[in-house]
Structure 1
Amino acid sequence: MHHAHHAHHVLCGLAANTALSSEVVDRLIEVADADVAARLADRADLGHAQAVALFSRVAECGVQLAHEGRLTAADVDPVAQPDVALVLLDEGAGSPEWARALAADPVPARRERLAACPALPADVVKTLAADPDVGVVAELALWTSSDVVAGLARHPHAQVRRSAAANEATPPDVLAALLTGHGLPPVRRCAVCDQEATPFVHERQCPRPDCVLPPGASCAGAHESAVHDIRQAALRNPATPAEAALGFADHPSMLLRWALAARPDLPPEIYRRLAADLAPGVRADVAENAAIDEALMRTLADDRDPDVRRALAHNPRVPLDLLTHLAGFARIGATLLPRIAAATAAEVRRLVRSPDPAARMLVARRRDLPPEIRDRLAEDPDAKVVKAVAPHPGLSEARLRAMVDRHGVRVLTGVAANPDATAALLEQLIRHEPPVPKAFREIARHPNASARVLQACLTDSRARPVAAGRPTLPPAVVVALLDDADPRVVEAAAANPALPPGVIAALIPRA
C-alpha cells in the first residue's frame, strides 16, 4: 500500500516538472489519474492535442482545462460534458446552441450556472426568467443586464428580489424601490414560507441535518427576514442612490447600519452618526472609509476598540501624525499600509527622521526607498525597524552582515529574504547560533542558495519540501529524496528539473 501511495506522489510531482520532454508528457497522460491530470492541466507547455488526449482519458479535468483555455468548443460535447460546456459559455467561448440545450437541462444547478453566463441569447434569458426553480431565476437576476433585471425586481419571490438588489446593473430608481418597498408589488413568497407554516422563526441551532434556512430566518406572513436581506443587499450596492440609503443610519438592525458604513457617498453627518454606533464593526468600517473627514478620524483614533483603531490605520487618507500615533499601539502586522505606500518623498523623509520607532518602522516596509534612506533605516538602533527594512533590495552584503551582527535572530529571517543576499551570506545565516528555523524556509527558497546551503536546509522539516524542489541540488541528492517519508518532499523532488532524464523515464509505469 505504501508503495502505491508513494508512486502516486512521484507521478504528481513529475507532472509538474518543467524539464519534461513532450514525449514524457504524452506517457504521463496515458497513466494519469485525477490528481496527476490536475497537475498536467496546469502545465504551461501542454499542447492542444495533449489537452484533448488528457480530457478524453480523465473527464473530470475538463473543467480545469476549459478554465485554462486549453479546450475549444469543437473539443466538447455539451450533452456528454455539460459542466465543461458551461465553463466555455461562461468565458464567452461556447455556442448559442449550447445555451439553448442547457436551458432545458434537468439539473437545476446547471441551469443556475447557465444563468450566470454573460451574453446569453435573448430567448434563453426569457426561458431562464420563467424557470420553475426560483434559484435559477435568482441567479439570472444577479448577473443579467439592466433591462432584464428591472423586470425581475418585481418578482413575487424574495430570493429573486434580493439578487436584483445586489446586481450593480439594476437601475438606481429600481434599487431605491427595493430598499424602501415603495412602488413595487409586495413580496409574496420567501424561503421560509416556501417550506414552513407561518408564523415561523428558525432556531439558531437547528437540529435538522438537511435544513438550508439561515439561523434566525423568520416569516410571520410579511417575509420579515427576507425583506431585511433585500434591504441589506441594496444598501451594500454602490449603484443604490445615497438619498435612499441615508434613512437607514438609525435603523434598529445593526446589519443594515453596518451595510451603510463602507459607502463612499454619504454626507458627513451620517458618518458622524455611524462613528458613534454601539457596534464596533460599524465603527471599524467607518474608520477605514476614505470618505470621512479628518476631524472624524481624530475622534475615531481614541476609540476604545482595537479593531476600530486598526481599521483607521488602514484608511488611505489618514493623516501621518495620526497614523504614527496609532502605530505605537494598534497591532498592524507586517503590512505596508495604503497611506504609507502613497506618502510623498518629503513625507517619507519626515517619517524616517521621527523620534518614534513605530513611525520609522511603518516607512521601512516600503520596497522603493531611495538608497540613502534605505541605508539609514538599516542602521537604525531599533531592531523592529531593521527587521522591517531587511528584505529591501539594494542593501550591500556588508550592511546585511552588520544588521545580523547587531540584532541577531530578530532580523535573521528578514535578511534571508533579501533578494541581494549572496550565497556566502546565506551560508553564514544557516550556521548562525542559535539557529532560526523560520529562516531556513526563506533560505531554501532563495535564488542565490548554493547546493551546500540547500543540503543544510534539508535538515529542517518545514524547509525540506522547499529545498527538495530546487534545481541547484546535486542530481544524486534529488534522486535520493524520491524515497523520502514525507510525501511533500517526494512530490517536490519529482518536480525538480535537476532530475536526470533517464531517472524520469524509469519512474513512469508503462500504460
Structure 2
Amino acid sequence: MNHALCGLAVNAALPFELVGRLIAVADADIAEGLASRPDLSHEQAVDLAARVEESAVRLAYEGRLTAADVDPVTQPQAALALLYEHSGDLERARLFAEDSDVERREKLAACPGLPAEVQETLAADPDVRVVAELALWTTADVAARLAWHPHAEVRRAVAANEATPPEVLAMLITGEGLPPAERCLVCDTEETPFVHDPQCPRLDCELWPGASCDGSHESTVHEMAEQALRNPATPVEALLRFVEHPSTLLRCRLAARPDLPPLVGVRLAGDSVSSVRAELAENPTIDDVLIRVLAADRGHDVQRRLAHNVRVPLDVLAGLAATVKIGSALLPRIAAASPVEVEELSRSSNPVMRMLLAERRDLPPEIRDVLAADLDAKVVKSIAPHPGLSEDQLRTMVDRHGVRVVAKVAANPAASPALLEDLTRHVPPVQKALREVARHRAATSPALLACLADRQARPIAAGHPALPPQVIVELLADDDWRVVEAAAANPSLPHAVMAELVPESSGV
C-alpha cells in the first residue's frame, strides 16, 4: 500500500489535474479515498469506476454514477447498487433475477421498488437465501405470502420485515393458521437431531454457532421469535407468551418493547436474570412506580441502565449518581431537563449531578459560568469544552485544577492560540491534551511542533494545515504510516511536492 498516495487521494487541495493522474494509477486503497472526494467530476467518477469496481459501487450508492455509466456485465455490483438506489435500469433487474450467481440474485432481492414480475421470480428462486432476502425487504403483500413458505429461514426473515402485516406477524409467533415449516438451514445440510459445535473445525461450514434442529427447527424458530420481538409492527399481545420463556434473550427483547403493558413490566421486574431487569430499566415507557422499584435493584447493570432512562425522576437519578458509576456522558434525562430543572441542578449539593448537567452544551451563560467556577474538578472537567467560555475562565480552570482539566480545556472551540501553546508546555505534560491541541483549528505552528513529539498526537498534528510546509514534507518519510497518510492529506503540502508524489501514467 502506498500510504502517501492514499493520503493524497483525500487531500482537499489536490489540483484537478493531479486527481486525474492519480485515478490513472489508482489501486483499491487509493480509489477508496478518491471516491470520497466531493470535488470529483462526473467524468472523473466514470474513469475511477472503470478502473476499480469497488469504487464504482460506492459512487453508485452515492448517486454519482448513472445507469448509462455502468456496464452490468463488467460492473455487476455497481449496477446492483444503482438498482438499490432507484437509479438503475429496471430491465437489468429482470436480467439479474435470472443471473447464475446466487449472491447477485440475493443482492437484487434487497433492492426496493422491484417490478412485480421480478419479485415473483425471486420469490420462486431455488436458493432459499435469495427468497429470505426478498422476504426481509419486500412489501406487505409479498411478505404475507412468504409467511407461508415451507422453509423456516424465509419465515424468520418475514418476522423481521417491518412491512409485514401485524396479523401475519402474530401468526408466525403463535403458529395458529400456518402449517409447520418443513425445512431449515440446519436440516438442509445435517442429519437431525443436530447441534452445531461452536468450535466447528470445518472451514466450509456456514451454520452459526449453536444452530440446532431436532425436527422442529428450534434454533431458527428461536431466531424468528427474536426478530418478531424486535419488530415494532408485531402486536404486543402475541408476544406476552414470552414473559416466562426459558430464553433470557427473548425475555430481554420483550422487556425492551416500547409498547410493553404495565403489568407485564411488573412481572419482568421480578425476573431472576438481571440482564432482563436491566433491559426493562432503560425502557422509556415504564412508569414512576416501576422506576423506583428498579432503583433499589442491585443486580448487574440495572441501576446504570436506569440512569440512562429518559423518564427517570431527577431525585431518583441523584440517588443513582451517589451509588453507581455512571460516567460523564450526557444522560437523556439531563438533556431533557427543563429550564427550571437546569437551575435546580446547577445548585445541587451532589457534585455528580452538577457534573452531569455540565455535559450539556446548550446551557444559559449564567448557568455555564456558575459551573465553570465550581470547586469540584469533575464538574469543571465536564464544562470546560462548553462554547462561550472566555480565555480568563479557561486559564483559571487550569490554574485551579491542573492536569485534571487540561485536556478538556484544550478541546474548547474558543481556546486561543496562545492558550493552546501554553497547554502544550504544561508541567507535568498531559498527553491527551496534546491530541486535543493537534486537532484544534486554532493551533499554531509552535503548538503543533510540540504535539509531534507525542506518538498518539503525531498523526493528528501531521494533518493540521498550520504546520509549516517543510515539516509536512519531512513527515512524508516518517516511520509511522499514519503520519505519512496524514501529511500527504494535509492541504498545506506544496503543490510541487504533490506533483512529485503522483507518478505519470503510461496511458497519459
TM (norm. structure 1) is 0.97
Residue matched to 1:426: 420
Residue matched to 1:48: 42
Supply the distance in 2 between the matched residues of 1:507 and 1:205 (Cα, whole angstroms): 48
One-letter code aligned to 2:342:
V
Alignment partner of 2:127 out of 111, 133, 138: 133
Provide, for residues 6-38 of structure 1, a one-character-per-residue CA deviation record: whole Å limited to 9, x for no partner: xx1111111111112211111111221211111
One-letter code aligned to 2:289:
A
Post-superposition shift, 1:355?
0.5
Alignment partner of 1:483 out of 477, 486, 496: 477
Post-superposition shift, 1:199?
2.0
Deviates more, 1:305-314 or 1:441-450: 305-314
- Asked if the contact 2:93–2:118 (Cα under 8 Å) also holds between the matched residues in 1, the reply is yes
Residue matched to 1:163: 157
Q: 1:58 to 1:209 in 2, by over 3 A?
A: closer
Supply the distance in 2 between the matched residues of 1:201 and 1:506 (Cα, whole angstroms): 60
Residue matched to 2:136: 142
Residue matched to 1:361: 355
Provide, for residues 343-387 of structure 1, a one-character-per-residue CA deviation record: whole Å limited to 9, x for no partner: 001001111111010110110000011111111111111101110
Deviates more, 1:43-52 or 1:494-503: 494-503
Alignment partner of 2:145 out of 144, 151, 159: 151
- Asked if the contact 2:169–2:234 (Cα under 8 Å) also holds between the matched residues in 1, the reply is yes
Residue matched to 2:173: 179
- Asked if the contact 2:328–2:356 (Cα under 8 Å) also holds between the matched residues in 1, the reply is no
Residue matched to 1:18: 12
Supply the distance in 2 between the matched residues of 1:293 and 1:122 (Cα, whole angstroms): 46
Supply the distance in 2 between the matched residues of 1:197 and 1:490 (Cα, whole angstroms): 55
Alignment partner of 2:89 out of 78, 87, 95: 95
Supply the distance in 1 between the matched residues of 2:502 and 2:212 (Cα, whole angstroms): 59
Supply the distance in 1 between the matched residues of 2:203 and 2:331 (Cα, whole angstroms): 44
Deviates more, 1:199-208 or 1:279-288: 199-208
Provide, for residues 298-321 of structure 1, a one-character-per-residue CA deviation record: whole Å limited to 9, x for no partner: 111121124111111111111011
Post-superposition shift, 1:486?
1.2
Residue matched to 1:76: 70
- Asked if the contact 2:282–2:306 (Cα under 8 Å) also holds between the matched residues in 1, the reply is yes
Structure 1 vs Structure 2: percent identity of aligned residues?
Answer: 65
Instruction: Please report the RMSD computed on the Cα atoms of aligned residues, expressed in angstroms.
Output: 1.2
One-letter code aligned to 1:305:
G
Q: 1:498 to 1:405 in 2, by over 3 A?
A: same
TM (norm. structure 2) is 0.97
One-letter code aligned to 1:43:
R
One-letter code aligned to 2:382:
A
One-letter code aligned to 1:506:
E
Matched, 1:262 2:277: no
Residue matched to 2:280: 286
Provide, for residues 138-170 of structure 1, a one-character-per-residue CA deviation record: whole Å limited to 9, x for no partner: 010110000001000010000000011111111
Supply the distance in 1 between the matched residues of 2:117 and 2:335 (Cα, whole angstroms): 50
Provide, for residues 316-343 of structure 1, a one-character-per-residue CA deviation record: whole Å limited to 9, x for no partner: 1110111111122322223111111110
Supply the distance in 2 between the matched residues of 1:199 and 1:35 (Cα, whole angstroms): 46
One-letter code aligned to 2:350:
D
Alignment of 1:11-410 (within 5 A): 11-410=5-404
Supply the distance in 2 between the matched residues of 1:307 and 1:317 (Cα, whole angstroms): 17
Post-superposition shift, 1:464?
0.8
Alignment of 1:408-419 (within 5 A): 408-419=402-413
Q: 1:236 to 1:59 in 2, by over 3 A?
A: closer
- Asked if the contact 1:179–1:235 (Cα under 8 Å) also holds between the matched residues in 2, the reply is no
Provide, for residues 420-445 of structure 1, a one-character-per-residue CA deviation record: whole Å limited to 9, x for no partner: 11011111111110000011000011
Supply the distance in 2 between the matched residues of 1:214 and 1:280 (Cα, whole angstroms): 26
One-letter code aligned to 1:454:
L
- Asked if the contact 2:291–2:306 (Cα under 8 Å) also holds between the matched residues in 1, the reply is yes
- Asked if the contact 2:328–2:355 (Cα under 8 Å) also holds between the matched residues in 1, the reply is no
Q: In structure 1, list runs of 5 or more residues that go unmatched.
A: none
Post-superposition shift, 1:218?
2.2
Residue matched to 2:490: 496
Supply the distance in 2 between the matched residues of 1:218 and 1:57 (Cα, whole angstroms): 45
- Asked if the contact 2:274–2:300 (Cα under 8 Å) also holds between the matched residues in 1, the reply is no
Supply the distance in 2 between the matched residues of 1:305 and 1:389 (Cα, whole angstroms): 32
SS at match of 1:393: coil
- Asked if the contact 2:277–2:302 (Cα under 8 Å) also holds between the matched residues in 1, the reply is yes
SS at match of 1:328: helix
One-letter code aligned to 2:258:
P
Post-superposition shift, 1:192?
1.6
Provide, for residues 210-233 of structure 1, a one-character-per-residue CA deviation record: whole Å limited to 9, x for no partner: 222233322222222222222222
Supply the distance in 1 between the matched residues of 2:392 and 2:103 (Cα, whole angstroms): 62
4+ residue runs over 3 A deviation = none
Q: How many residues align?
A: 505
One-letter code aligned to 1:239:
A
Supply the distance in 1 between the matched residues of 2:499 and 2:211 (Cα, whole angstroms): 60
Provide, for residues 171-227 of structure 1, a one-character-per-residue CA deviation record: whole Å limited to 9, x for no partner: 111111100000001111111211122222223433333222233322222222222
- Asked if the contact 1:300–1:312 (Cα under 8 Å) also holds between the matched residues in 2, the reply is yes
Post-superposition shift, 1:234?
1.4
Supply the distance in 2 between the matched residues of 1:416 and 1:475 (Cα, whole angstroms): 24
SS at match of 2:396: helix
SS at match of 1:213: coil
- Asked if the contact 1:306–1:330 (Cα under 8 Å) also holds between the matched residues in 2, the reply is no
Alignment partner of 1:464 out of 458, 466, 490: 458
SS at match of 2:428: coil
Post-superposition shift, 1:68?
2.4
Q: In structure 2, list runs of 5 or more residues that go unmatched.
A: none
